[in-house]
Amino acid sequence: MTQKIRCAGFGGQGIVLMGRLIAYSAMVEDKHTTFFPQYGAAMRGGTANCSVIVADCDIAAPTVEEPDVVLIMNGPSLDKFEDTVKPGGWIFYNTSLIDREVKRDDVNVFKVAANEIADEVGSSRSANMVMLGAFVAKLRTIELDTLLTRSLDAQMHGKSERVMELNRKALKRGASLAE
């Protein structure tokens, strides 16, 4: 199994954190993984994306040309990455900020009202966690439990308990969408 994932949205939505959490969880689960962020002159509000590969064997190319899964947090990212998804792959997208339908008919689509659900949980800043929760519950690339018990603590070290609890709730709410 090799799954290539791209997370995309605007700067400030926690796109890189989503990728790091997937990669860290994969490592904890003894899978092979590699994470690569778009880097350089980025700013809050600009576009941001990163790619993660999770596999049960050695990962050769670390580059992701044709992702199996995209986690899309805003409209410009859907425009940019919709066509890159492998036929038969998955598009998870944030309907809170994207008001159009996916045009492709050869991929699976999963809609997540990430910002609205995050708002209900306590803060729209956790929209990335809602999306991540839906993705792991639907595809089981990594386990929700790993995220909740290991990865959040390791990758968000130093955040207040209030923020951590918000993220855990948002992850669980996201996961419940896919159950």
The residue ranges that bind another protein (CB under 8 A) are 20, 23-24, 27, 32-37, 39-41, 59-63, 65
Burial label, 116 (beta-carbon count in 10 A; 0-12, 13-18, 19+) = middle
Cβ 9 vs Cβ 48: under 8 Å: yes
Nearest distance, CB of residue 66 and another protein, angstroms = 9
Query: In Å, how far from its chain's centre is CA 110?
Result: 13
Instruction: Give how far Cα 7 sits from Cα of 37, 57, 112, 176, Å.
Output: 9, 22, 14, 20
State the nearest-atom distance from the C-beta of 20 to another protein, in Å: 7
Taking the complex as a whole, the smallest distance from the CB of residue 64 to another protein amounts, in Å, to 11
* Smallest gap from residue 99 Cβ to another protein (A): 33
Cα distance between residue 82 and residue 70, in whole Å:
8
